[in-house]
């Protein structure tokens, strides 16, 4: 193309327009980046400030992380809307775009949305709180935090366990810390030739010597059943949830000696083995 046929005035006008457009879009891009950085920084500040403020209120510890996350994401969504408006995107278009994106994301991430809904229900109905020990069909631990997607637990051996909220919400939850007291039954099977009444008296004396047992309901001893290998003696008592494990382990430590001193012998399961052609083998403990 012959450049002498190009109008210099039009060429200069085109370059001027392109330069102004580039400068305008560059400024919009810088402004959008500044808004994005400021919005993300502000969301962090809002989250930290809300966390500190909630600590001075009576809001439950389980609800605090959820409120903080919601506040942060509200600020971030507003930030994204402001960033898009810098490039001339209208608010109605933004809302329509967010709606369409939300529908597509919802269809693609049904499991994730289920976890969010389950997290909201867990926070609202509060089947457990932070610091309580729960067991949800094999998922057991002390609750550390309930978030939008997952609940953090600390297992009995000190391991951090993160469980999707949907798994907890769809399970039967046993809360071991909800009630202040717990009942325990200690069963011991003794042989038929044991002194049954002496064994019951020994179990009753063992419980009477433990000051951490609750006076009401009153501790009880009883014969619960007869088995093929012996008689089942049962000691039943109530204690506080805090003392439950230590009391139980203490009783297990001295249970055998207590019964033996009372003239009772623990029934040991035996298994009779017959060898073809070799006669009866002696009975051995199983």
How confident is the model over 183-227, as pLDDT tens digits?
999 999 999 999 999 999 999 999 999 999 999 999 999 999 999
Pair 286, 269: CB distance under 8 Å: yes
* Per-residue confidence (pLDDT) for residue 73, from 0 to 100: 81
Residue 267 covered by a domain: no
Residue 279 covered by a domain: no
Number of structural domains (the chain) is: 3
* Per-residue confidence (pLDDT) for residue 235, from 0 to 100: 95
Query: Do residues 151 and 189 share a domain?
Result: no
What does the alpha-carbon distance between residue 250 and residue 242 come to, in Å, rounded to a whole number? Answer: 14
Query: Do residues 221 and 134 share a domain?
Result: no
Residue 160 covered by a domain: yes
E-state strands within the chain: 133-136, 139-146, 150-154, 160-164, 173-175, 181-190, 220-226, 231-240, 270-271, 284-285
* Per-residue confidence (pLDDT) for residue 205, from 0 to 100: 94
Query: Do residues 191 and 165 share a domain?
Result: no
Residue 81 covered by a domain: yes
Query: Do residues 202 and 231 share a domain?
Result: yes
* Per-residue confidence (pLDDT) for residue 81, from 0 to 100: 79
How does DSSP assign 215-265, residue by residue?
SSSPPEEEEEEE-SS-EEEEEEEEEETTTHHHHHHHHHHHHHHHHHHTT--
Average pLDDT taken over every residue of the chain: 82
Residue 254 covered by a domain: yes
Query: Do residues 16 and 98 share a domain?
Result: yes
Q: Are strands 173-175 and 133-136 parallel, antiparallel or unpaired?
A: antiparallel
Domain end among 159, 175, 191: 175
Query: Per-residue pLDDT for 272 more than 60?
Result: yes
The helix or strand, by DSSP H or E, that contains position 89, with its residue range, turns out to be: none
Range of the domain at 208: 181-261
Query: Do residues 28 and 102 share a domain?
Result: yes
* Per-residue confidence (pLDDT) for residue 280, from 0 to 100: 55
Q: How confident is the model at residue 89 (pLDDT cuts 50, 70, 90)?
A: low
What tens digit of pLDDT does each residue of 54-70 get? 777 766 666 677 778 87
Query: Do residues 160 and 210 share a domain?
Result: no
Query: Do residues 78 and 30 share a domain?
Result: yes
Query: Do residues 142 and 199 share a domain?
Result: no
* Per-residue confidence (pLDDT) for residue 253, from 0 to 100: 93
Query: Per-residue pLDDT for 285 more than 60?
Result: no
Residue 145 covered by a domain: yes
- When pLDDT is averaged across residues 259-272 and rounded to a whole number, the result is 85
Query: Do residues 187 and 152 share a domain?
Result: no
Residue 99 covered by a domain: yes
Query: Do residues 141 and 73 share a domain?
Result: no
**For residue 50, what is the domain's CATH number?**
1.10.287.1260
Model pTM score:
0.58
The answer for residues whose C-beta is within 8 angstroms of residue 103's C-beta and 6 or more apart is none
What tens digit of pLDDT does each residue of 66-88 get? 778 878 888 888 888 788 777 77
């Amino acid at each position: 193309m012959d450049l002498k046929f190009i109008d210099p005035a039009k060429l200069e006008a085109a370059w001027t327009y392109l330069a102004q457009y580039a400068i305008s879009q560059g400024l919009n891009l810088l402004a959008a980046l500044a808004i994005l950085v400021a919005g993300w920084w502000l969301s962090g500040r809002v989250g930290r400030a809300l966390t500190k403020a909630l600590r001075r209120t009576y809001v439950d510890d389980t609800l605090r992380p959820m409120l903080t996350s919601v506040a942060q994401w509200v600020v971030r969504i507003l930030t994204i809307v402001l960033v898009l408006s810098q490039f001339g995107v209208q608010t109605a278009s933004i809302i329509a775009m967010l709606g369409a994106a939300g529908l597509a994301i919802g269809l693609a991430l049904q499991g994730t949305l289920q976890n969010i809904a389950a997290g909201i229900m867990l926070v609202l109905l509060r089947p457990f709180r932070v610091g309580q020990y729960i067991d949800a069909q094999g998922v057991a631990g002390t609750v550390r935090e309930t978030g939008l997607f997952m609940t953090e637990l600390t297992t009995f051996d000190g391991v951090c366990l993160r469980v999707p909220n949907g798994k907890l919400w769809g399970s039967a939850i046993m809360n071991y810390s909800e009630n202040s007291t717990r009942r325990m039954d200690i069963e011991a099977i003794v042989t038929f030739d044991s002194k049954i009444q002496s064994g019951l008296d020994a179990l009753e004396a063992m419980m009477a010597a433990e000051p951490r047992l609750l006076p009401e309901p009153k501790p009880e001893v009883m014969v619960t059943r007869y088995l093929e290998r012996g008689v089942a003696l049962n000691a039943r008592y109530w204690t506080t949830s805090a003392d439950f494990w230590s009391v139980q382990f203490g009783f297990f430590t001295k249970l055998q000696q207590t019964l033996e001193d009372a003239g009772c012998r623990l029934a040991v399961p035996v298994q009779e083995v017959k060898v073809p052609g070799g006669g009866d083998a002696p009975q051995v403990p199983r």
